[in-house]
Structure 1
Amino acid sequence: MNLINLSLQLNGYAIATAQKQLQELRQQVEHNYAAYTETKKTEILKHHLHNTPFYRNLVNDQYQTWEDLPVLTKPDLQQALENRLSQGFSAKNVHVHKTSGSSGTPFIFAKDKFCHALTWASITQLYSTSGIDLQNSYEARFYGIPNHGAARLKERLKDRLSNRYRFSIFDTSAANLESFISRFKKEPFGHLNGYTSALVLFARYLAEKKLVLKDLCPSLTHCIVTAEMLFKEDLEVLQQQFGVPVINEYGASETGIIAIGKAGDVLHIDSSLLYVEILDEANKPVTPGTSGKIVVTSLFNEAHPFIRYEIGDLGVLVYQNGLPVLSQLEGRVGDFALLPDGRKIPALAFYYVTKEIMNDTASVKEFKIIQNAPNHFSINYVADAEFSAQDVEKIKRAMLNYLGMEIQLSLNKKSILDRSKRGKLKQFSRTF
């Protein structure tokens, strides 16, 4: 059984009150989303302008409307936590956390205890809506974990309290993946949850073995992917080899779950606790259905301002039944290839085209694109065999057709790809 609720309650988090209030908030959203959002935006803005010197100085009274407010970025928050907290809060009476650092700009942040309780209550309810009983479903967790020390022990304790078992995703050897299979045969897992790339890698190994995970572990009901892009062909592999519905979760350490939904469909925003905007490069709102920067406001965090906070991702927002949903997620804001003629190629589209060609050419499990110079790209990949000369030429021709110019291309077969300390696989990077 998941003991997080009990742990929160014992540590001063009013989880029962949060659960009750969350139900009331959801009813208000369903009754009149526009009125609810305007009220909560006004309340949290007024709170931080009156009680948070950091945010008051940042705004500097230079606004008339919500759209005039500054857009908070991660560098804005890379200063001592005590400088950013609202009056009456300190590190001793808040929930302190650290971002994953996947954007390259990690920082420490805080939530007041009731906001954190609301966030956890919402996560539980969102999972329930997706068909997962978080209190009782035994989780197979495909995340990274610190290598040693107190941080590792803390994660192991959280796993124990949260009724989950963590699989080591840094070791992608056949022997380790076989140990995964053995564990699923023995343990009554209810759902999988983890980084997309790690789950896809495991699913592809199952495909090689002609195995379906649901057959090995009949108690399995769902798979949740998070933290990385999910491509159509990868979704198909997950569905086929796991044999259960796939849920796509989009969130951030700072905010909790931002949106969640059936993979391949729209993602429903947690509008009770968050307000999501899509902005252009000049920080102006775009029309619904247009791609832009995802900017989030935490409507209940009174300890620390996350007002018009730029997450660092690109997406598309539309409305369904009067409520906002994310119809697309399009990768990181700064991810693009820069060509010699000055053109910028979005990394997501660039990666997608390359992925399609490589999947047609050989049995590639994973790969990562690195742009070393405007005219030079390296592709590190994990596969059963090295590409033949003909395969390499096919990939080069595809790149030429897509980029419209000749480039130098290095393909390097690896036994394993480097991941972040938390286990994420950054699929594109530029070194200049």
Structure 2
Amino acid sequence: MERNYTTQMDAAKRGILTPEIKTVAEKENMSTEELMELVAKGVVAIPANKNHKTLSPEGIGQGLRTKINVNLGISRDAADMDLELEKVRTAINMKAEAIMDLSNYGKTHEMRKKILEISTAMLGTVPVYDTIGYCEKKLKDITKDDFLRVVRQHAEDGVDFMTIHAGINRATAQKVKDNRRRMNIVSRGGALLFAWMEMTGNENPFYEYYDEVLDIFREYDVTISLGDACRPGCIDDATDPAQISELIVLGELTRRAWKKDVQVMVEGPGHMALNEIAANMIAEKRICSGAPFYVLGPLVTDVAPGYDHITSAIGGAVAAANGADFLCYVTPAEHLRLPDLDDMREGIIASKIAAHAADIAKGVKGAREWDNKMSDARREIDWDKMFELALDPEKPKAYRASSVPREENTCTMCGEQCAVKNMNKILGGEDIGI
């Protein structure tokens, strides 16, 4: 059936019920009318490229469940495409809502094509990573047309959202030079564009030719994820002049995108002390007119390499409880190496815990009911039901099987002194037998 709209936002503004809006409304237990209004305002995005045929769409934003993203992709030092595709399948099985292919080496087009053939999750990319290999040029020799050609290729392939670092213009870059940071710029895309501007003397092409970028996004119904090139890479750099000045630019770019019916997400920190997170979330939502906020972490301490899935989950829960809508997972391998499958699983679980904890705090419809069902199963000492309701059923099953109690309705920690069992008995008029 031929589309009579350009993007999900265009359809929502004109009162057209798209299949994607209908599906997301059902997933979120929300009326299509309410969801359509949120999409029309831009406070909810439904990333859904018209060429991604296997997609099961999800909504990101106000009033919806907090979603999580899984990063993967090949690099020069870790170019096993089969392993990365196994990560894709694992992420989908673990119900991650989004996957970002951050491949920056070799046959990136083939990698994207294979992901899009199998992925029901939305797919994101960062085209600037791909430009050097795609164009077979040195960074300083890449032109504005080269950058836009790669963006168009990703859109044609079916990518649902792309990170575009348009906020680091020459004025923002000067803020970085004038206010030296402990960790400088840690965004890969941001550092590449900063270097390109320094080497060429030109304005960031994604900022200077932003309208041309938006035209491509509108044509394919791609959601723009406005990258935070100046996100803090350590807690000491958080909420500094570069981060805040870039955020102001991102707010302006958000409203320009909406005028062209292009859906927007805004990316955020980074590393940040616990006590700064809530204020940052409020500032982002205010400056960017309520656009969905996509955060990497934030990691709340810098001293836990090997455990950064935990530092990220702490920050992610606080961020999402205070307004963030989309969490990019962090694995135990962060800052150390490309994550393997086990790292990825740990990162997904940590992020899903953070997202769900935040949904309870935000009062998202149905979030607390899941916990109440688990509590009922625990009171009834119904192990099978507990496993069924668990976020990761396999791990509790394995723990239970590894240490079998004498009595089935207890565990090996409390045994016959189990408070739950004994309260059930005494309130039922029975002797607890000890």
Task: Work out whether the TM-score is over 0.5.
Answer: no
**Larger relative helix fraction:** 2
> TM-score scaled by structure 2?
0.27
